[in-house]
Amino acid sequence: MPSTLTSVWSLINHFLEWFGDLAFFAWEVARSAVRRPYEGRELIRQLDEIGSRSLPLVALAGAAIGAVLSLESRDSLVRFGAKSMLPAALVYSIIRETGPIVTGLVVSGRVGAGIGAELGSMKVTEQIDAIEASGVNPFKFLAFTRIVACILMLPLLTLAADFCGVLFGWIAETLVEPVSFLRFINKGFVGASFSDFLAPTFRTAVFGLIIGMIGCFQGMRTKGGTAGVGFSATSSVVLSSLFVILADVILVKFILVFFP
């Protein structure tokens, strides 16, 4: 029994220490963000790396989700005599929930692992120490640019996933029962307002903050050579995906309260 309590306490203590280190890391990044230079060239490079290079995977995931939702929803709605509600059900389910969370998880897998492995390898090969010795702030040059790029790109990637999901949902529906795209869209967005889609899309900026912050944090605290690099990449994916899911649950509640 005492050994069990010791193990539990050690786990809790390690968990609290990790959060404390993350808070100090976030403070260093925020403090460096207001100082010159602003590293615009590196930010643009990260926007391309995180945004455009994630686009094919995000679009493919959105298309697959849209096609599957269309086929599955059609079967269920036909049973209850509500086949005409398929476009609205598909559009609402993709734009309000499925598109944002799928984008967040896909990007956390690709970008989180990439950031963790890249910064981890730089840490174990002492490149980060060399950058700091040359007078460049590593928190601004390496962490801040990647975090901002994640925050800016996640909503845009979400829009791409939503578009592909609706498009391929229409294609899947057309293969079963031909319907024009214009009519499908009109029926899908009937009764919808701008606020129905604004908050769900822009909550992915919070997902971007989580993915960028955890990926940079895990990468810049890497230890133990190549094994440590692998651990940083894996832990970045696992932790960012976990916190994206938890943030989604919390943000959905806030959206339902402020955007009923």
Q: What is the pLDDT of residues 28-64, one digit of tens each?
A: 888 887 777 777 788 899 999 898 889 999 999 999 9
Higher-scoring residue by pLDDT: 234, 190: 234
Task: Write a three-state SS string for the chain.
Answer: CHHHHHHHHHHHHHHHHHHHHHHHHHHHHHHHHCCCCCCHHHHHHHHHHHHHCCHHHHHHHHHHHHHHHHHHHHHHHHHCCCHHHHHHHHHHHHHHHHHHHHHHHHHHHHHHHHHHHHHHHHHHCCHHHHHHHCCCCHHHHHHHHHHHHHHHHHHHHHHHHHHHHHHHHHHHHHHHCCCCHHHHHHHHCCCCCCHHHHHHHHCHHHHHHHHHHHHHHHHHCCCCHHHHHHHHHHHHHHHHHHHHHHHHHHHHHHHHHHCC
The whole domain housing 115 covers: 39-258
pLDDT greater at residue 217 or residue 82: 217
Is 34 inside any structural domain?
Answer: no
pLDDT tens digits, 237-259: 999 999 999 999 888 888 777 76
User: Is 106 within the bounds of a domain?
Assistant: yes
Question: Does residue 25 form part of some domain?
Answer: no
pLDDT digits (tens, 9 = 90+) for 122-147: 888 888 888 888 878 888 888 899 99
4 part of a folded domain:
no
pLDDT band for position 3 (cuts 50, 70, 90): low
pLDDT over 80 (residue 166): yes
Residue 199 forms part of a structural domain: yes
Q: Is residue 119 a part of any domain in this protein? A: yes
Q: pLDDT tens for residues 86-109?
A: 888 888 888 888 899 999 999 999
Q: How many domains does the chain have?
A: 1
In a domain, 8, yes or no: no
